[in-house]
Amino acid sequence: MQWHGLAQAQAGILARRQLRALGIDSDRVRNQVAGGRWAERSPTVVSCFTGPLTVEQLAWVGVLTPSTEGVVGGIHALSAAGLRSWERAHVTVLVPVDAHLPASVDGVEHVRTRRDLACWTTARGGPPRLRVEPAALLHASSCPSEREAQGLLAAVVQQRLTTVVRLAETLTDLGRTRRAPLMRRLLLELDGGAQSLAEVDVTRMCDDHRIARPVRQVARVDSDGTRRWTDCEWRLSDGRTLILEVDGAHHMAVGQWEDDLRRRRRLTSPSVVIVDCSARELRDEPDVVAADLIALGVPRAGA
């Protein structure tokens, strides 16, 4: 392969060792950099262009800088697989524990690992990266909070990037992993039908307060003829249906808020009652939400 083809495959990023293998010595690289045609991105990596790096190009720099190539992990690996609404300022690159790292790279966090990542790696459409399951589980194990860890796992399932079964199998394959008991519990709850962390919180609230679990994601046609999906529903003893809508932070945006108001008006009828709570209330004040639901007639578990 000529260096042009390799550069095209790697978004214009090349390791010096790759260039040497193609017959391009350090003097030629030095001349290209001195002439302003190429740029040094780390002691071991150059780009065949100058100017700022894209996220993909930065990931390539992070992967190629160590003496043994790394693997993109964390949020950027998941974003490459389609994860939405999760962002990180830096790119996480996992490298073998014994790899030589000549220098840090701005915007890249190199994480050393003793794990053999080869069987969990894919290279489709960019730098080598972890598959969804190990990327999600390993990142969840190192998140600053348990809440964030659970939210990430719920997101990859909700956005259909993987399944609970695949996550559970990979968690077993990973062996000893930080937060493994917490993640196993969450996967059991997601396997029970919850599709988001808020729905997991509803299930926990119901179980802790002996409230019947709701029916989730019910399809309804509103007064305008539009098909809608509700978060949680209970059948009350008087025959009416009570719907609980859980609002996350994105519901506070003016456009979303007005859409929600219109949606609820059109779903409400003499036989359908809609109440709301915030995702924060479910997380921090489940006792209050449970008491309000019981007062409204939501049945107890086993009733």
Q: Which of 54-58, 80-84, 217-221, 230-234 has the lowest mean pLDDT?
A: 217-221
* pLDDT band, very low/low/confident/very high, at 248 (cuts 50, 70, 90): low
| Tokens found for residue 215 | 């029916």
Mean pLDDT of 76-97: 93
Q: Which residue has the higher pLDDT, 217 or 248?
A: 217
pLDDT surpasses 90 at 290: yes
What is the pLDDT, as a whole number, of residue 189? 80
Contacts of residues 257-264 at CB distance under 8 Å and 24 or more positions apart, as own/partner, are 263/222, 263/228
* pLDDT band, very low/low/confident/very high, at 259 (cuts 50, 70, 90): confident
Q: Which residue has the higher pLDDT, 76 or 1?
A: 76
What is the pLDDT, as a whole number, of residue 183? 93
The strand pair at 91-96 and 108-113 is best described as parallel
Looking at 185-226, which runs of residues are DSSP E strands?
Answer: 215-221
Mean pLDDT of 138-165: 92
Euclidean distance between the first and the last CA atom of the chain, given in angstroms as a whole number: 71
Q: Which of 91-105, 139-153, 182-196, 252-266 has the lowest mean pLDDT?
A: 252-266
pLDDT surpasses 90 at 88: no
Its sign, for the CA torsion 135, 141, 145, 147, is positive
| Tokens found for residue 301 | 């578990």
* pLDDT band, very low/low/confident/very high, at 96 (cuts 50, 70, 90): very high
Looking at 140-238, which runs of residues are DSSP E strands?
Answer: 215-221, 227-235
Buried b (16+ CB within 10 A) or exposed e, 141-160: bebeeeeebbbbbbbbbebe
Mean pLDDT of 30-43: 95
Q: In percent, how much of the chain has pLDDT > 70?
A: 95
pLDDT surpasses 70 at 1: no
What is the pLDDT, as a whole number, of residue 254? 47
Nearest to 18 by CA among 69, 93, 72: 69
Nearest to 245 by CA among 227, 226, 265, 225: 265
| Tokens found for residue 161 | 């990037």
Helix (H) or strand (E) holding 186, with range, is helix 180-191
What is the pLDDT, as a whole number, of residue 278? 87
What is the pLDDT, as a whole number, of residue 250? 46
The strand pair at 215-221 and 227-235 is best described as antiparallel
What is the pLDDT, as a whole number, of residue 296? 96
Tens of pLDDT, residue by residue over 169-227, are: 999 999 999 999 999 988 888 877 677 788 888 999 999 999 999 998 888 888 888 88
Nearest to 280 by CA among 248, 238, 235, 256: 248
d(CA 286, CA 296): 15
Q: Which of 145-149, 194-198, 299-303 has the lowest mean pLDDT?
A: 194-198
Mean pLDDT of 153-175: 93
What is the pLDDT, as a whole number, of residue 6? 93
Secondary structure letter of residue 214 according to DSSP? P
What is the pLDDT, as a whole number, of residue 253? 47
CATH 3.40.960 location in the chain: 198-295
What's the whole-number average pLDDT of the chain? 90
| Tokens found for residue 121 | 């790696």
pLDDT surpasses 90 at 302: no
pLDDT surpasses 70 at 249: no
* pLDDT band, very low/low/confident/very high, at 251 (cuts 50, 70, 90): very low
Task: Work out the number of other CB atoms within 10 angstroms of the CB of residue 55.
Answer: 13
> What is 198-295's CATH number?
3.40.960
Mean pLDDT of 147-154: 91
d(CA 252, CA 229): 19
